[in-house]
């Protein structure tokens, strides 16, 4: 009788840890994402991270030093996007020289989101056309910034012009 209880306890513990592991690597998650790039862009040069990047930072350069961010795309899908209730921040880099960061605010963590990252060149500038369908729809098109200028920017805009509000509302067209 004791061996059956021990076996059941071990199975239960294994299932709990298995679930936690699968959730942490993004397998148990209904979110989907798609990455599209128009020629002549090379998808191998694209990296997409998820993390929490405080809007109270001194400048955007701090995001690149943040080791807590998690890469989910590096020229190919590495894992799924796991979004939580509240602030979900994304950092995108291209050729390790250009970047764009945005925040997606989610009001219901149980809802599934569909992310479409679309990249294209226009007048020698890299643009992101982002579409998020799900809990809180979001759609915008923005140009990338040079990482060399990240110390002069906060939330993608010049520090001198951000004022006290820099919470992602600049995405609303």
Q: In this structure, is the dihedral angle defined by the CA atoms of residues 39, 149, 71 and 101, taken in order, positive or negative?
A: negative
* Tokens standing for residue 18: 């298995």
Task: Band the pLDDT of 81: cuts 50, 70, 90.
Answer: confident
Domains of the chain: total: 2
Chain mean pLDDT for the chain = 85
pLDDT of residue 29: 63
Same domain for 163 and 88, yes or no, is yes
pLDDT of residue 101: 95
Q: Is 25 exposed, middle or buried, given 0-12, 13-18 or 19+ CB atoms closer than 10 A?
A: middle
Same domain for 26 and 47, yes or no, is no
pLDDT of residue 65: 86
Same domain for 155 and 85, yes or no, is yes
Radius of gyration of the CA atoms of the chain, in A: 19
Task: Band the pLDDT of 146: cuts 50, 70, 90.
Answer: very high
Share of the chain above pLDDT 70, in %: 86
pLDDT exceeds cutoff 90 at 147: yes
**Are 103 and 167 spatial neighbours (Cβ–Cβ below 8 Å)?**
yes
Task: Band the pLDDT of 163: cuts 50, 70, 90.
Answer: low
Same domain for 123 and 149, yes or no, is yes
Same domain for 135 and 62, yes or no, is yes
In eight-state DSSP terms, residue 148 is G
Cβ-based neighbour number of residue 46 at 10 Å: 21
Same domain for 98 and 23, yes or no, is no
pTM of the model: 0.76
Please name the residue that has the structure tokens 């299932």: 15
Same domain for 112 and 145, yes or no, is yes
Q: Phi, psi at residue 64, to the nearest 5°?
A: -75, -20
Same domain for 13 and 39, yes or no, is no
Same domain for 117 and 53, yes or no, is yes
Task: Band the pLDDT of 25: cuts 50, 70, 90.
Answer: low
Which residues span the domain enclosing 141?
32-171
Buried b (16+ CB within 10 A) or exposed e, 99-117: bbbbbbbbeeeeeebebeb
Same domain for 36 and 24, yes or no, is no
* 92 or 54, which is more confident: 92
Separation CA 130–CA 74 (nearest Å):
18
Q: pLDDT tens, 151-160?
A: 998 888 888 7
The SS3 assignment for 13 reads helix
What is the pLDDT averaged over residues 120-134? 95
Task: Band the pLDDT of 108: cuts 50, 70, 90.
Answer: confident
Task: Band the pLDDT of 165: cuts 50, 70, 90.
Answer: very low
The SS3 assignment for 137 reads coil
Same domain for 93 and 133, yes or no, is yes
Same domain for 81 and 51, yes or no, is yes
């Amino acid at each position: 009788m004791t061996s059956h209880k021990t076996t059941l306890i071990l199975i239960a513990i294994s299932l709990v840890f298995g679930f936690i592991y699968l959730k942490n690597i993004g397998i148990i998650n209904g979110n989907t994402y798609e990455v599209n790039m128009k020629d002549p862009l090379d998808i191998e040069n694209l990296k997409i991270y998820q993390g929490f990047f405080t809007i109270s930072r001194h400048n955007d350069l701090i995001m690149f030093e943040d080791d807590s961010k998690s890469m989910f795309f590096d020229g190919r899908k590495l894992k799924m996007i796991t979004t939580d209730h509240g602030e979900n921040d994304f950092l995108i880099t291209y050729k390790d020289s250009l970047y764009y960061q945005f925040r997606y605010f989610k009001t219901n963590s149980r809802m599934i989101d569909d992310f479409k990252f679309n990249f294209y060149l226009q007048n020698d500038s890299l643009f992101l056309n982002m579409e998020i369908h799900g809990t809180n729809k979001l759609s915008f098109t923005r140009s990338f910034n040079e990482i060399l200028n990240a110390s002069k920017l906060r939330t993608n805009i010049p520090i001198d012009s951000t004022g006290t509000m820099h919470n992602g509302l600049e995405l609303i067209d």
